[in-house]
Chain A
Amino acid sequence: MIPIIWIILIILAAIVLIEFIYYFNKFVILGNRIDNSLAQIDVQLKRRADLVPNLISTVKGYVKHESAMINKVTEARKALLAAKDITSKVKAGNQLQTALKSIFALAEQYPNLKANENFLQLQQELAAIEDKVAYSRQFYNDSILDYNNSVQSFPGNLFAGIYGRKQKEFLKIPEESRILPKVKF
């Protein structure tokens, strides 16, 4: 006969082991999700930068005396491509978007440009990318929230300490927000 105390000890040890594995995997999964959503922001910003040369060559055909504005866009694109970490990338992405907006505002004065098929398509595509950047930032912050919740709440905080997992920072740069109309009920 094995004494009952041994059985209890073995069960307890098994539970502790399972918890260790569970939390290890949980942190890995949530951490990977953050990395992945970060990569998604990057992909969208890259796509925005890739569309810019095409846009500029289209605009240049119609707009002659606005080279300052066009230079601003080119500069912003260069800054975005040169940016290293995510914070500066998102910041540069915001600046590029602002510069692009002034181009689109400018197009209001050039009916021929506004009617250009290629221009319209680029405008639509860039607007969609703006939404996608906002959505992927939202998911990035959601992922950080999930991760932080699991790192800070009990008993996750004990395991986080053992595995050396720390809280992560949210992206705090002002939202490049999706344009949402105000609605009254």
Chain B
Amino acid sequence: MEKISFYEQISRNKRNSFILIAIIFLVLAALGYIIARLNQSYFFIIMIVSIIISISYVLIGYYNSDKIALASVNAKPAPKEYRQYYNSVEGLTLASGLPMPKLYIMENQQINAFATGRDPKNSVICVTTGALERLNKQELEGVLAHELSHISNYDIRFMTLTAILVGMIAIISEIFLRSLWFKGDRKGKGGALLLIIGIAFAIIAPIAVKLVQLAISRKREYAADASAVKFTRYPPGLINALKKIDGDKPIKASKITSSLFISDPLKKNLDNLMSTHPPIKMRIQALKAM
């Protein structure tokens, strides 16, 4: 039974990623269409340009979302001196039959980690230096196994695509709106056009952010915790790591990429219904029941 649901999870992630790309493409193309309608004389040129932009946006997003995510948290490739880090991941890839992901680190005192990429062959694991310094071997392996499970069931593809494709729209629209705010007194056709695009973006941006939060279901975290234990056969490792994480202070991370981490780096405890991660206490309980 468990096997079947695992493969279902993979195909669901692949399908969702495809649907997401299609929707993003359509939204961008529709935006181009609106602009083109307002500028009848250049209709075809604007339409062609907007379709080219939309296609390149989703293609660049698909092939580079991992790099964008890594750059956004200022991560760099892990030096070979982190022997424990490399050895643990190598061991876990043997336990799971996965190819070796690229290893990255980010300078930060908080214990946290995330995985990204588009499939197991093109995958990356990134941990904070805080995690490498403050977790013992078993705890670190628990966290790394959790990230490897996100890789093995293609969560990384859907999660990263959602964060980047949708997130970028939100960022672009925010920048656009801000610039609109400063030159608000334009008149004539151009001004009206900008206003309409501005309003469209103003509607899209918050919806986009909400979509990111909703799409990245909190069930994924429970599932990844469960298969992490299947790899390590040692629940206390991950449990103790989660306990240490629970005692940590929040770090600065953008709203967009926060959904990728093993635990919400922003630590919004009150915002339970809309948060991207289940409460750590619930996850520990679930792990103890195994």
Instruction: Contact check, B94 vs A139: say whether CB atoms are below 8 A apart.
Output: yes
Q: Which of B59-116 contact A (CB under 8 A)?
A: 83, 87-88, 90-92, 94-97
Q: Is the CB of B279 closer than 8 A to any CB of chain A? A: no
A139 to B90, CA, bound (A): 13
Instruction: Contact check, A136 vs B234: say whether CB atoms are below 8 A apart.
Output: no
Instruction: Contact check, B95 vs A180: say whether CB atoms are below 8 A apart.
Output: no
Instruction: Contact check, B91 vs A132: say whether CB atoms are below 8 A apart.
Output: yes
Q: Which residues of B contact A183 (CB under 8 A)?
A: 236, 240
Tell me which of A33, A37, A183 has the highest count of chain B C-beta atoms within 10 A of its own C-beta: A183
By DSSP majority rule, is chain A's interface helix, strand, loop, or mixed?
helix
Q: Which residues of A contact B252 (CB under 8 A)?
A: none
Give the size of the chain A interface in residues (CB under 8 angstroms).
Answer: 19
Q: Which of A113-131 contact B (CB under 8 A)?
A: 124, 128, 131
By DSSP majority rule, is chain B's interface helix, strand, loop, or mixed?
helix
Q: Which residues of A contact B3 (CB under 8 A)?
A: 146
What's the nearest-Cβ distance from chain A to residue B231, in Å? 8
Q: Which residues of A contact B288 (CB under 8 A)?
A: 185
Give the size of the chain B interface in residues (CB under 8 angstroms).
Answer: 18
Total A-B Cβ pairs within 8 A: 40
Q: Which residues of B contact A139 (CB under 8 A)?
A: 94-97
Q: Which residues of B contact A143 (CB under 8 A)?
A: 97
Instruction: Contact check, B83 vs A136: say whether CB atoms are below 8 A apart.
Output: no
A141 to B90, CA, bound (A): 18
A180 to B141, CA, bound (A): 12
Choose one: A33, A135, A180; the contact of B94 (CB below 8 Å). A135
Q: Which residues of A contact B87 (CB under 8 A)?
A: 124, 128, 131-132
Q: Which residues of A contact B236 (CB under 8 A)?
A: 183, 185
Q: Which residues of A contact B95 (CB under 8 A)?
A: 135-136, 138-139
A181 to B239, CA, bound (A): 14
Q: Which residues of A contact B90 (CB under 8 A)?
A: 128, 132
Q: Which residues of B contact A44 (CB under 8 A)?
A: 94
Q: Which of A128-171 contact B (CB under 8 A)?
A: 128, 131-132, 135-136, 138-139, 143, 146
What's the nearest-Cβ distance from chain A to residue B228, in Å? 13
A33 to B288, CA, bound (A): 31
Q: Is the CB of B138 closer than 8 A to any CB of chain A? A: yes
Instruction: Contact check, B234 vs A180: say whether CB atoms are below 8 A apart.
Output: yes
Can you show 21 pairs from A to B with CB atoms below 8 A apart?
A: A33-B97, A36-B97, A124-B83, A124-B87, A131-B88, A131-B91, A132-B87, A132-B90, A135-B92, A135-B94, A135-B95, A138-B95, A138-B233, A139-B95, A139-B97, A146-B3, A180-B234, A181-B138, A183-B236, A185-B236, A185-B288
Residues of B within 8 A of A (CB): 3, 83, 87-88, 90-92, 94-97, 138, 233-234, 236, 239-240, 288
